[in-house]
Structures are given as structure tokens and as C-alpha cells.
């Protein structure tokens, strides 16, 4: 007798919810799900689960829609936890199905039994272990809703025998569609307008939560109306404002002393799509000088709740700012001094990250996506390279390495005609290096620029600040050779002339590339690090 299986019912859920690409590294517990996989769904293999989740995260961010991930019991989920945490903090929706041993003998802990529910810790937005096989399709539907609403990974644990069970002929316990009501709240906009009224010298701080076309244009309108300088939050994962706009003021420093100095001239600071204020090294004293008043607007409850501000508005960022721009009176004021970017360092000296970033900045198309994971070079990247389009800048929100290579590939898969460049330290590259195999195999035309300074320069600088030296050795890895071993074309660059020649050659092809390329640039380690 033939009947409809849980597996077939789940495929239908995936089709209906746009979960038509499966990012995976499978094992025996996933074989019943994957064998004779339907042609209309796509399977993408990653060679390590950190990379699987990184690819899916880039894909989800690039499409602004949930991505489907399939992981193999404890070993797979365990390997993926760091990347799932990054997805959560980067607010990327993921539906993560984790395979489990067969229900019929789970009680006796057969080989590969996973203790899975707690393994992702606090990072998943939901974890479901369906009570019956028949509950699996509904759980996958709910996970899609949870992932979008909670903006992070939603896990469903599925024992391997569930897939061949007969599906129930009953409606799923999930709505066919969720419409999230996200209009601006007039009372909230009025409170913000009152807060801004009478500001002598307002400033705006933007962050990752403002990064979309609507957010950028609403903030441009608001900043122009207030004639207010706009800073980008420090260590933000995404850019919240066009960084070539006349009112862009640069990136905030990540310690309290310099933060107080930077915001000192302002009596009122409006923070949008960012926390008040992301810091990196601990520093004594208040975040701002006494007398500086702060309001924060964000759609992330946790971000609002932990912000020391006079007023927190939890709501849609773009729509709230758009209405606010209409309500606040236009301010008569002189433009603040323009933000100036440094000149390119001169040729003739040993190559440094600054040479690479200045040369890239001169050549990058305005719609490029730059994915950053280059610890000591990040300040130079911020100084030289302006995000000029939404999603122009992307990095791991929490600092966990191994994100940039797979995420760049995932974004490029999602937006195949947009130029994508990952700028990655040599140490960082190794954490996500298997992504190069997926990029090569699936012909993903991203450019990976590796800043090869022979080690963990940031760790050396931090140890010096701590008054000594660390026990870690240099990490001199031939990244270009590894790339080639994974099937990814790669070249090593040692001189300024070679650098300019390669970039002149490659940058014009970025939008139409059909294979990845890795350029490993030998650079001197940066001797200072003051983000």
C-alpha cells in the first residue's frame, strides 16, 4: 500500500516556505531524508558544519529569508554551535533540522544517539523535538515562523525513522502565513520627536539593525532634517547609513574614554538599530558625559532592554525613522565638518593591509558586498572602504572566526550578480577554509582577499597591551596552496605592482564571475591596534 510519508509532507512544507536549498553535511541519521532527493530542491554540501551554517547564514542574509540547514546528530550540531551563535547574533533566520538515531531503540542509546536539546545552549530561538513522527512537518513550519520572528536558528530534532512514517491527514499546527504587523506607533514617534525637540547639537548613531534600503533612506531624510552627523556603531555587523553621505561621521571608537570624547559635543544622541553602546575593551567611567541625553530605536527587544538610555522605542526602525523625519522640525544649522578618509599609503614601502584596502576601495563597485574578518585590518577597512549600498558591509556580529569565507559564498549564491569580496586575515581564513571547496564546486564567484601577515597579529598586539608576549607561535600557513587543494583558483601577491595589476584585472569581473578566486597578499603585521 502506498501512503504519503512524513518526508514527503516535509518536502511540501519546505516548498511552500521557500526552503528549497538544503545546506548540509549528512550522516547515517540523515540518509532516509536525503536518499533520492527531489529534483526541485537543491542540496549544497559543506565540508564542516561551521561552514554549512556559515553558507546558510550568508544565504539567509542575502535573501532576507530563512535558510534550511541539515546537521548530523551530536557531532554535527556540536561542530555548528559557534556558527549558530553567530547566526543568532547576526539575526539570520535558519531552520535547522538535526538528525537523531531511530526512535525504536533510542532508549538503549545506540551508536550516534545525540543528547541534542541543550547542545545549542541559549542560542537557538526555539528547539522542538516532535512528539510523534506525524508532528515533524508542522514543527518545520513552526521553525520557519520562529526563525523569522526570533531572527535566529530554530531547531527541529528528527529521529531517522520518522521520515518514512505515514503522514497524518490533518492540518499542521502552524498558520499557512504569518503577517507581522510592523507599522510605526504614532505615540512612540511623538515621544521621539519631543525628545529631539530643542536639541542644540543632535547626533545619530546607526547600527546593523538599520541596514536595509528603507532604513538607509529614512535615516538620510532624518539626518538631513536635523543636520546631524551620523556615526556607525563600533564593531557593528552591518552598516546602517550610506558611508559616502556628506553627514557620515565615521565609526565610533570601542572604548568609553574615546566614546565620551567623540560624542562630547552633542547634547542629544539618537541611536538607531544598535545598542547603547557596543564596546570592546573594558574602560572605566560613563559611556557619555553627564548631560548627554540618549534615545534608542530598535526592533530587537534585548538591544533596547540593555541600553542605558532615557527613552527606548521598540518598533520597526525604518518606518519609525521615516515618520520621525516628517514630524521633527527642520533644524537650521551649519553642516558638520566632512568626514575625511585617509590618503592611500605610498608605494615603495613593504605591503601593509592599508595598501590593499586603499587599492580595493579605489576599485570596488558601489554595490559591492564586503565581508570582513580581518582583526587588525578592520580599522583600516573602516577608514578606506565606504559601504555605499545596503548590505555593503557584513561581519560576524560577535567576533567568532570562521564566518567570512562561507558567509561571502552564501551571500553571493543569494545575489549572484552582486560583487562580493571577503577581506580575511590569514589566521581567520583557516577557521572557515572548507568553504572554498563549496565555492569551487558550486561555482560561486566570490573574491577572497587574504591578508597574510603570518599569524595572529591582533593577539600579539593585545598581549603587548597586557604588558608582555603570548605563548602562541607564528601561524604561517600557505593559504593559496590550501585553496588550490580545495579546487579554488588562488594566487599569491607579494608586491604593490602585482597587487594593483591583479585588482585591475579581477575587480571589473566581480559581478559576472562564475568561479571563486583567492588572492593571498603578503603583508607586514600592523603594529598598532586601537579599534
Ligand X SMILES: Cc1ncc(C[n+]2csc(CCOP(=O)(O)OP(=O)(O)O)c2C)c(N)n1
Between 233 and 426, CB nearer to ligand X? 426
Q: How far is the CB of 82 from Mg ion (least distance, A)?
A: 19
How far is residue 252's CA from residue 531's CA, in Å, rounded to a whole number?
9
Extended strands (E) in 2-90: 21-24, 42-45, 67-72
341: helix, strand or coil: coil
C-alpha cell at 466: 597586557
Q: Which does residue 458 touch among ligand X, Mg ion, none (CB within 5 to 8 A, set by kind)?
A: ligand X
Considering only residues 396-415, where is the footprint of Mg ion by CB under 5 A?
A: none
C-alpha cell at 95: 531552520
Q: Which does residue 375 touch among Mg ion, ligand X, none (CB within 5 to 8 A, set by kind)?
A: ligand X
Q: How far is CA 395 from CA 56, 226, 237, 423, in A?
A: 15, 30, 5, 10
Q: Which does residue 374 touch among ligand X, Mg ion, none (CB within 5 to 8 A, set by kind)?
A: ligand X
Between 399 and 487, CB nearer to ligand X? 399
Between 300 and 426, CB nearer to Mg ion? 426
How far is residue 25's CA from residue 322's CA, in Å, rounded to a whole number?
43
Between 235 and 437, CB nearer to ligand X? 235
Q: What is the DSSP string of 230-264?
A: EEEPTT-SB-SS-TTSTTEEEEPPSSHHHHHHHHT
Contact set with ligand X (CB under 6 A): 82, 374-377, 399-402, 425-428, 431, 453, 455-459
Q: Which does residue 150 touch among Mg ion, ligand X, none (CB within 5 to 8 A, set by kind)?
A: none
Q: Which does residue 82 touch among Mg ion, ligand X, none (CB within 5 to 8 A, set by kind)?
A: ligand X
Stretch that binds Mg ion, among 47-55, 56-64, 120-128, 447-455 (CB under 5 A): 447-455
Q: Which does residue 431 touch among ligand X, Mg ion, none (CB within 5 to 8 A, set by kind)?
A: ligand X
Residue in 128, 380, 426, 526 binding Mg ion, rule: CB under 5 A: 426
Q: How far is the CB of 279 from Mg ion (least distance, A)?
A: 24
Between 46 and 402, CB nearer to ligand X? 402
Between 49 and 426, CB nearer to Mg ion? 426
Q: Are 384 and 341 in contact (CB under 8 A)?
A: yes
Q: How far is the CB of 60 from ligand X (least distance, A)?
A: 20
Residue in 66, 273, 425, 432 binding Mg ion, rule: CB under 5 A: 425
Q: How far is the CB of 518 from Mg ion (least distance, A)?
A: 15
Between 84 and 133, CB nearer to ligand X? 84
Residue in 10, 232, 438, 453 binding Mg ion, rule: CB under 5 A: 453
Q: Are 381 and 374 in contact (CB under 8 A)?
A: yes
Three state DSSP letters for 164-228: HCECCCCCCCCCCCCCCCCCCCHHHHHHHHHHHCCCCCEEEEECHHHCCHHHHHHHHHHHHHHCC
CB contact set of 194 (below 8 Å; sequence gap of 6+): none
414: helix, strand or coil: helix
Q: Which does residue 402 touch among ligand X, Mg ion, none (CB within 5 to 8 A, set by kind)?
A: ligand X
Between 475 and 500, CB nearer to Mg ion? 475
Between 323 and 426, CB nearer to Mg ion? 426
Residue 277's nearest CA partner among 266, 287, 264, 291 is 287
Between 476 and 497, CB nearer to Mg ion? 476
For the chain, the straight-line distance linking the first and the last C-alpha, in angstroms and rounded, comes to: 66
Cell 563600533 belongs to: 234
Cis check: omega of the bond before 277, within 30 degrees of 0: yes
Largest CA distance in the chain: 79
Q: How far is the CB of 284 from ligand X (least distance, A)?
A: 24
How far is residue 91's CA from residue 136's CA, in Å, rounded to a whole number?
25
Q: Is 66 an interacting residue with respect to Mg ion (CB under 5 A)? A: no
Q: How far is the CB of 474 from Mg ion (least distance, A)?
A: 9
Stretch that binds Mg ion, among 124-132, 159-167, 227-235, 449-457 (CB under 5 A): 449-457
CB contact set of 97 (below 8 Å; sequence gap of 6+): 33, 68, 69, 70, 71, 140, 155, 156, 157, 158
Residue in 93, 345, 427, 432 binding Mg ion, rule: CB under 5 A: 427
Q: Which does residue 400 touch among Mg ion, ligand X, none (CB within 5 to 8 A, set by kind)?
A: ligand X
Q: How far is the CB of 53 from ligand X (least distance, A)?
A: 13
Chain residues binding Mg ion by CB under 5 A are 425-427, 453
Amino acid at each position: 500500500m502506498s501512503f504519503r510519508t512524513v518526508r514527503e509532507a516535509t518536502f511540501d512544507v519546505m516548498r511552500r516556505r521557500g526552503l528549497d536549498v538544503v545546506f548540509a553535511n549528512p550522516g547515517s541519521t540523515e540518509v532516509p531524508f536525503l536518499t533520492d532527493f527531489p529534483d526541485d530542491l537543491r542540496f549544497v554540501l559543506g565540508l564542516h558544519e561551521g561552514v554549512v551554517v556559515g553558507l546558510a547564514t550568508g544565504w539567509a542574509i542575502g535573501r532576507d529569508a530563512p535558510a534550511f540547514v541539515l546537521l548530523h546528530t551530536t557531532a554535527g550540531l556540536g561542530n555548528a554551535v559557534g556558527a549558530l551563535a553567530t547566526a543568532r547574533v547576526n539575526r539570520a533566520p535558519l531552520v535547522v533540522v538535526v538528525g537523531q538515531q531511530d526512535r525504536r531503540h533510542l532508549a538503549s542509546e545506540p551508536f550516534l544517539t545525540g543528547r541534542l536539546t541543550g547542545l545549542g545552549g541559549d542560542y537557538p530561538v526555539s528547539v522542538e523535538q516532535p512528539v510523534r513522527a506525524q508532528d515533524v512537518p508542522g514543527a518545520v513550519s513552526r521553525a520557519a515562523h520562529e526563525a523569522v520572528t526570533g531572527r535566529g536558528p530554530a531547531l527541529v530534532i528528527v529521529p531517522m525513522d520518522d521520515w518514512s512514517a505515514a503522514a497524518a491527514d490533518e492540518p499542521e499546527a502552524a498558520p499557512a502565513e504569518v503577517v507581522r504587523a510592523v507599522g510605526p506607533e504614532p505615540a512612540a514617534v511623538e515621544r521621539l520627536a519631543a525628545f529631539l525637540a530643542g536639541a542644540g547639537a543632535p547626533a545619530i548613531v546607526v547600527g546593523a539593525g538599520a541596514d536595509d534600503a528603507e532604513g538607509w533612506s529614512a535615516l538620510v531624510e532624518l539626518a538631513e532634517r536635523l543636520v546631524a552627523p551620523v556615526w556607525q556603531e563600533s564593531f557593528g555587523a552591518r552598516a546602517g547609513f550610506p558611508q559616502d553621505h556628506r553627514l557620515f561621521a565615521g565609526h565610533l571608537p570601542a572604548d568609553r574614554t574615546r566614546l565620551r570624547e567623540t560624542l562630547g559635543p552633542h547634547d542629544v544622541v539618537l541611536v538607531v538599530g544598535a545598542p547603547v553602546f557596543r564596546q570592546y575593551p573594558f574602560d572605566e567611567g560613563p559611556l557619555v558625559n553627564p548631560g548627554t541625553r540618549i534615545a534608542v530605536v530598535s526592533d530587537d527587544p534585548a538591544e533596547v532592554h540593555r541600553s542605558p538610555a532615557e527613552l527606548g522605542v521598540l518598533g520597526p526602525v525604518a518606518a519609525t525613522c521615516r515618520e520621525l523625519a516628517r514630524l521633527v522640525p527642520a533644524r537650521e544649522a551649519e553642516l558638520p565638518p566632512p568626514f575625511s578618509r585617509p590618503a592611500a599609503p605610498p608605494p615603495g614601502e613593504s605591503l601593509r593591509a592599508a595598501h590593499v584596502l586603499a587599492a580595493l576601495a579605489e576599485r570596488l563597485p558601489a554595490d559591492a558586498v564586503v565581508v570582513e574578518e580581518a582583526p587588525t585590518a578592520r580599522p583600516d577597512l573602516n577608514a578606506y572602504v565606504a559601504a555605499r549600498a545596503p548590505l555593503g558591509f557584513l561581519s560576524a556580529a560577535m567576533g567568532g572566526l570562521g564566518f567570512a569565507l562561507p558567509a561571502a559564498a552564501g551571500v553571493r549564491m543569494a545575489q549572484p550578480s552582486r560583487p562580493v569580496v571577503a577581506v580575511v586575515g590569514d589566521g581567520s581564513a583557516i577557521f572557515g577554509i572548507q568553504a572554498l571547496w563549496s565555492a569551487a564546486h558550486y561555482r560561486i564567484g566570490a573574491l577572497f582577499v587574504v591578508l597574510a601577515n603570518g599569524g595572529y597579529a591582533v593577539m600579539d598586539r593585545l598581549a603587548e597591551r597586557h604588558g608582555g608576549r603570548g605563548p602562541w607561535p607564528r601561524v604561517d600557513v600557505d593559504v593559496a596552496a590550501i585553496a588550490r587543494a580545495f579546487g579554488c583558483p588562488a594566487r599569491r601577491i607579494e608586491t604593490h605592482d602585482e597587487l594593483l595589476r591583479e585588482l585591475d584585472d579581477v575587480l571589473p569581473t566581480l559581478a559576472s564571475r562564475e568561479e571563486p578566486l583567492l588572492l593571498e597578499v603578503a603583508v607586514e603585521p600592523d603594529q598598532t591596534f586601537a579599534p
